[in-house]
Structure 1
Amino acid sequence: MTTGSVSPRRADTRRNNERILAAAAESLTGSEEISFNAIAKKAGVGVGTVYRHFPTQEALVLAVYRREVEHLVDVVPVLLRTHTPELAFKEWTNHLARYMMTKRGLAKALNAAATSPQELFAKTNKAMLSAITTLLEANIEAGTVRPDLDPETVMRGLAGLMYLDPKTDWQAQTVALTKLLWDGMCRCPSPGC
């Protein structure tokens, strides 16, 4: 019979897994190169621990990709609880831009790692569309954006974030793109609504 508590070993395993994924995501932000030694050092674990969690580079790349997409979806309800719908959308766009910076380094490795990239990307698109739809519905209900917005069109607009260069001031470019998109989505006719 279990008591419902998590054993210290399992908790440690989960923490190590998360630290490895965070270190790998950070490493892949500017490069598609994966060094298990560098990731282990950055995560504060032994290289054997990295290999136990992710026996191949492909397994690690796919796990980082899934983690990043999961985070983008999971953060939406949190943002909507803690911010106005407008600010939640804008903050989520910042999260999306950081994701795009990670995906940039992941892209080549991901295509090599995924046995069926089309299936993987279709699931990602579905998850992203769901997140955008939730954010738009909250803003429509708040009266901050036009009610006729199509989530797929908004997603295409946000795809411009893929062209950001992590070696430049991508944060300022994200703000500029978000403002442009928001102004187009805005319900009120005055500038800067």
Structure 2
Amino acid sequence: MKLNAVAKACGIGQGTLYRHFPTREDLLAEVYRQEVDELVAAAPRLLARHQPVGALAAWFDRVAAYARVKRDVFAATWRGLAAHSLGPIGEAVELLLAAGRAAGAIRPDADARDVIVLISWLSRLDDAELDARGSRLLAILVDGLRAGPA
């Protein structure tokens, strides 16, 4: 989609859009940043509504949807995005894992970097494969993070 079509769809002038987003990549990068912020903000809300493992599983469902955006945006631009996402996403993952460890539901040796490495494959799947396998693969990951019997 061309930026002038985006401006028209948003009901703003092209000049306004181009002042904030001089290139298509700039616009996509901002969309990506917002998606990361929403994903990070979901972690504490999910913990407030679910037990730790359930919150982690629900957060992984959001990660799968986010992976579609990430894949497409990364195809267009990369610079500056990794720094914005890895820190906050790692913090969100650690919040979820820490709650699970404190409840005895998540294995003590799992850390945020482990989870980020494991979920990074989501952005490499095309939509059909993500639809077909994503939920099952994330459920396998959640089961692998569960604390074993004491």
Give the TM-score taking structure 2 as reference length. 0.84
Give the SS at the match of 2:48: helix
Q: CA deviation at 1:169?
A: 5.5
- In the alignment, is residue 135 of structure 1 matched against residue 96 of structure 2? yes
Give the SS at the match of 1:95: helix
Tell me the alpha carbon deviations over residues 32-63 of structure 1, each in whole angstroms, 9 at most, x when there is no partner: xx4224434554x2453533542332321221
Q: Which has the higher helix share?
A: 2
Give the SS at the match of 1:55: coil
Equivalent AA in structure 2 for residue 156 of structure 1: V
In the alignment, structure 2 segments of 5+ residues that lack a partner are none
- In the alignment, is residue 173 of structure 1 matched against residue 133 of structure 2? yes
Count how many residue pairs are aligned between Structure 1 and Structure 2. Answer: 148
2:30 corresponding residue in structure 1: 63
Q: Contact (CA 8 Å) 1:36, 1:47: kept in 2 or not?
A: no
Q: CA deviation at 1:160?
A: 2.0
CA distance in 1, matches of 2:53, 2:33: 27
Q: Greater RCO between the two (CA within 8 Å, min separation 6)?
A: 2
CA distance in 2, matches of 1:41, 1:184: 47
Question: Pairwise mapping of residues 4-153 of structure 1 onto structure 2 (< 5 A)?
Answer: 34-40=1-7, 42-43=9-10, 45-48=11-14, 49-111=16-78, 117=79, 120-153=81-114
CA distance in 2, matches of 1:70, 1:151: 17
Q: Contact (CA 8 Å) 1:73, 1:131: kept in 2 or not?
A: yes
RMSD (CA atoms): 2.1
Equivalent AA in structure 1 for residue 135 of structure 2: V
Larger radius of gyration: 1
Q: Contact (CA 8 Å) 1:164, 1:173: kept in 2 or not?
A: no
Residue 91 to residue 47, structure 1, CA distance change in 2 (3 Å): farther
